[in-house]
Amino acid sequence: MKNFHFDNNQLMAEDVPLSQIAEQFGTPCFVYSRAALEQHYRDYEEALTGCQHLICYAVKANSNLAVLSVLAKMGSGFDIVSGGELARVIAAGGDPAKVIFSGVGKSHEEMAAALDAGIQCFNVESALELEQLNTIALEKNLRAPVSLRVNPDVDAGTHPYISTGLKENKFGVSMEDARVLYRQANTLEGIEIIGMDCHIGSQLTTIAPFLAALDRTLLLLDELACEGIHITHLDIGGGLGVQYKDETPPSPQELIGAVREVLAERSLTLVLEPGRSICANAGVLLTRVNNIKTNGEHRFAIVDAAMNDIIRPALYQAWMDVVPVLPNDNIPAQTYDLVGPICESGDFIARQRELSISTGDLLAVKSAGAYCFAMSSNYNTRNRAAEVLVDGSQLHLARRRETYQDQLALETPLG
């Protein structure tokens, strides 16, 4: 996270002290670095030089309009999983012609809206979805561009909740079914087969599962070519992991280098759907220590962020690094559980951390740019945090902190 660095013993976001951002916008507050987002996107672009490709940033990882607009300006495409995400991409200035639509449960309205917007490709995940999409396209006198999402039954070696390429997962169609479905798709007037898609999971830290999935998809691709079904667009999904603690995931260069070696003789457009590897390490969550208490042997630092802001530790037992923004070595280090104000024992951000902190201190939860705000909620009627994008020495309020009025506005008491 080189765009978040210590300068004069205080943690900065690019050229701005994080303590200044906390003063100005309050806490909890997510802070994103434009330079980091751009660098992570460029890492992919550079690895793909000389190869026909489309990078479709997975909007679900962080869907703030400011983040999307940074990537749209870089020329990025977008991987969406809902009509809401399509609306966000369009509002952020993204090009619908570079949008691919993934997901197992696309509604009639969502498919219709995506067809109207002229998206690049639907990643179809079932026979019924294919049939429905065909009907909607015919009603509109259009042909829907389609990839089938195949499920290669490969173990991604990641947390079971974020593994998607095993046959017990709900995603994609088995290799056997895909063969049949491609033949069927080939007969449908409203469907134009353009590609094949495969996404096996998230936070992958080795290349081997990607290559195993690639082998299986290429086998099917070749079989289909023999039947006259020609596929020109190969989507290998997202899933590249990042470093939260001591993981050593491959770089985009290493992953794409290995994939390109396998694809060398083929003229395919390579599509990628990276989410986490673009934005996780482009963001932090600022939170203040509101109270310190002990229960027997256990020492708790109660912070003003909670599981509604950052659910990854509670949901996936994820380890997120936490550091003081203004380190003070004069405070003796103690072991803390960092917990939020929510009424659940599962409301923790980090456990058993050695920290030199006292009440009122400002902390940064690192690697919080992906799947944090995007998964936040109003549980316990907590206002969702502010989001700020830093660009050099400039600050852009990407989302203002919610108010209670915002939350109550959508509801009506019984009169």
Q: Which residues would be at the binding site for ligand LLP (CB under 6 A)?
A: 58, 61, 79, 102, 162, 164, 199, 202-203, 237-240, 273-277, 312, 316, 371
Neighbours of 359 (CB within 10 A): 11
In terms of Cα–Cα distance, which of 312, 155, 268, 151 is closest to 217? 151
Shortest Å distance, C-beta 360 to ligand LLP: 30
CA–CA separation, 223 vs 225, rounded Å?
5
Nearer to ligand LLP, 169 or 358 (CB): 169
Shortest Å distance, C-beta 105 to ligand LLP: 12
Nearer to ligand LLP, 12 or 146 (CB): 146
Shortest Å distance, C-beta 99 to ligand LLP: 13
Cβ neighbours for 255, distance < 8 A, ≥ 6 positions apart: 47, 207, 210, 240
Phi-psi region of 377 (alpha: psi -120 to 50; beta: other; left: phi over 0): beta
> DSSP state, 298?
E
Cβ neighbours for 86, distance < 8 A, ≥ 6 positions apart: 80, 96, 99, 101, 110, 113, 114, 117, 119
Q: Which residues of 253-266 are buried (b: 16+ CB within 10 A; e: fewer)?
A: eebbebbeeebeee
343 has catalytic annotation: yes
Shortest Å distance, C-beta 371 to ligand LLP: 3
Nearer to ligand LLP, 199 or 382 (CB): 199
In terms of Cα–Cα distance, which of 208, 312, 213 is closest to 250? 208
Of these residues, 56, 121, 226, 343, which one is catalytic? 343
Q: Are strands 77-80 and 53-58 parallel, antiparallel or unpaired?
A: parallel
Nearer to ligand LLP, 30 or 371 (CB): 371
Nearer to ligand LLP, 35 or 162 (CB): 162
Shortest Å distance, C-beta 181 to ligand LLP: 18
Neighbours of 311 (CB within 10 A): 20
**Active site residue ranges:** 343
